[in-house]
Chain A
Amino acid sequence: MQKNNSIELKELSILYNDLKIGLEAVSKASFDVKNGEFISIVGPSGCGKSTILKVISDTLDLSYSETRGDVKVLGSSPKIAREQRKIGFVFQKPTLLQWRNLEKNVSLPLEIIGLNKIEIKKRVKKLLKMVELEKYASYHPDQLSGGMQQKVSIARALAYDPEILLMDEPFGALDEINRRKMNDELLSVWKETGKTIVFVTHSIEEAIYLSERIIVLTKQPGRIKKIINVDLPYPRKNELGSMKFYKYINQIRLLLENEEEIV
């Protein structure tokens, strides 16, 4: 394992065997994620993006799946990384506990870790401030918009200061304008915290807007089609309409479309 790599995948294959016929979700995927890198995974739906994140976070149910190949997270197995709480997860749905207010939702992991109350309060306050929700600390999830809820779940994932943030289509349910806003806020969180972020999306534009590199997967079973370096300066607001940005979109679209033609 290289020292400056957060995550290393070597020939990772994942098989679901809970159905009558086994289903290969991911096939021989190899890639590295550098420390502090923002990397995106794009690919058609069902190509195994979520499955890859589950393997990295060691949350795949082993009773009906089989993994081959090698995965290293911060130099050790995903299990050890999980037990050391090195990984924060943000799902497509905010997955908040509706009976807890925002403050209590963000403090959930800290309570489980066993931090003292004063320290929890301090940290939660800081986190809510970071996602600009400090005014809503006593609100319950059902009183917030989807975007706000997702910000809470990001704050919650950052609460215990994991080194890696895995995000599975976190803004997939948002409208265009809110999604852009959330993208900018996520980038500022990334700048502020220096976390390694693995971001799954099916929006090509979003991937280009956010990431330093983009992994393009083929359709199921997901294989790596290409890894693209996004050579655009941050912030990319001004790049949105640029020729270069458009070229990236086209390149990735072609990669994804070619796939359809083969079949």
Chain B
Amino acid sequence: MKKKNNKILSYLINFSLILILLFIWEQIVVQFEIPKRILPKPSQIIDYLAKDFTSGKYALLTKTLLSFRDALIGFSISVFLGTLLGIIFHQFKILKTIFSPFILISQLLPVPAFAPVVAALLGYGFETKIIIIVLFTIFPVIVTVESTISSLSANYFALFSSYNAKKIEVIKKLFLPSILPDLITTMKILTTASIVTSIIAELPLTVSGGIGKDIYNSFNNQITTRVWASLVMLCTVSILFFKSMLEIEKTIINKYRYAKE
């Protein structure tokens, strides 16, 4: 009970803090007469969002959700394909040796910045966008999966071997459940990464309807309030995505009683 009260209290404090900051922001803009195209007032941003919703067009919402959808597609492909590749890399160490340098390099490169180059190579459409997201998010998955399986005690392998278990059984009953906690931790990090990539990848591409492109256009036309409003939407979606991963993590860790660290 006490714990719950504490939680409510901390929410209240957070909320008040945000309100205070917004108020200060509002006052600064008013006092210093900062023009709207440089920094709009919070009230103007809220107003803008409200209009978008009440007009029934939901333009910003639709665009944000579209960018999010693509992020989610790329993210899912990364998780599935990355897990598969991680298992294959564990199975065939030679592949790991061959690909490790490339994986390392790709981890160091800011892949989203390469979007224009990739687009020039692969075209300017939807597939390219997804490929860029996958390229940016798949390697941490592969590395997590491979290293978690490699760190399993040799006794587990001996155990399954003494059952004469088929490889697919080992994957289903040992590998997948073992990697789950670490994989989810990686997935949490990749929520934001996939959204960021989705936004940035939109700029050089011709795929339309995303919030990234909208932000870019609004910015060029000095509709700063719309840029801010878009960012608010984007942050909200990003936070919700992350929070839902947190919830999934909590549920799985509790249900299967994975050792809590």
A binding-site residues for B, Cβ under 8 Å:
54, 57-59, 61, 82-85, 87-89, 91, 93, 95, 97-99, 108-109, 111-113, 140, 142-143, 160
Contacts and interface: CB of A to CB of B under 8 A. Distances in A.
Interface stretch (B1-9, B76-84, B169-177, B182-190): B169-177
Decide if the interface of chain B is mainly helix, strand, loop or mixed. Answer: helix
Interface in B148-181: 153-166, 169, 173-174, 177, 180
Contacts of A58: 161
B158 A112 contact: no
Contacts of A113: 163
B158, B177, B259 — which one has the most chain A CB atoms within 10 A of its CB? B158
A160 B177 contact: no
A112 to B, nearest CB: 5
24 contacts: A59-B158, A59-B161, A59-B162, A82-B161, A82-B162, A84-B164, A85-B162, A85-B163, A89-B158, A91-B155, A93-B155, A95-B155, A95-B156, A95-B159, A97-B173, A97-B177, A98-B259, A99-B258, A112-B165, A112-B166, A112-B169, A112-B173, A113-B163, A160-B163
B164 A85 contact: yes
Contact of B173 (A89, A91, A111): A111
Nearest to A54: B158
A88 B177 contact: no
Nearest to A113: B163
A89 B258 contact: no
Nearest to A94: B155
A82 B164 contact: yes
B177 A99 contact: yes
Nearest to A97: B177
A97 B174 contact: yes
B57 interface: no
A13 to B, nearest CB: 21
B257 A89 contact: no
Leading 10 A-B pairs by shortest Cβ distance:
A99-B256, A59-B158, A140-B257, A112-B165, A109-B163, A95-B155, A112-B163, A91-B155, A99-B177, A89-B162
Contact of B162 (A87, A97, A111): A87
B173 A95 contact: no
A108 B259 contact: no
Given A85-B164, A98-B256, 8 more contacts: A59-B157, A89-B162, A95-B153, A95-B155, A97-B177, A113-B163, A140-B257, A160-B163
Contacts of A57: 158, 162
Interface string B100-140: 00000000000000000000000000000000000000000
A82 B163 CA distance: 7
A84 B163 CA distance: 9
A88 B173 CA distance: 18
Residue among A87, A95, A111, A112 with the most chain B CB within 10 A? A112
Given A59-B158, A85-B163, A109-B163, A142 B153 contact: no
A137 to B, nearest CB: 15
Contacts of A59: 157-158, 161-162
B173 A108 contact: yes
B155 A88 contact: no
A54 B158 CA distance: 9
Contacts of A142: 257, 259
A140 B164 CA distance: 25
Contacts of B180: 99
A112 B173 CA distance: 9
A234 to B, nearest CB: 28
A47 to B, nearest CB: 19
A83 B165 CA distance: 9
A97 to B, nearest CB: 7
A80 B173 CA distance: 23
Contacts of A88: 162
A83 B156 contact: no
Nearest to B162: A89
A88 B166 CA distance: 17
Contacts of A95: 153, 155-156, 159
Nearest to A159: B163
B79 to A, nearest CB: 19
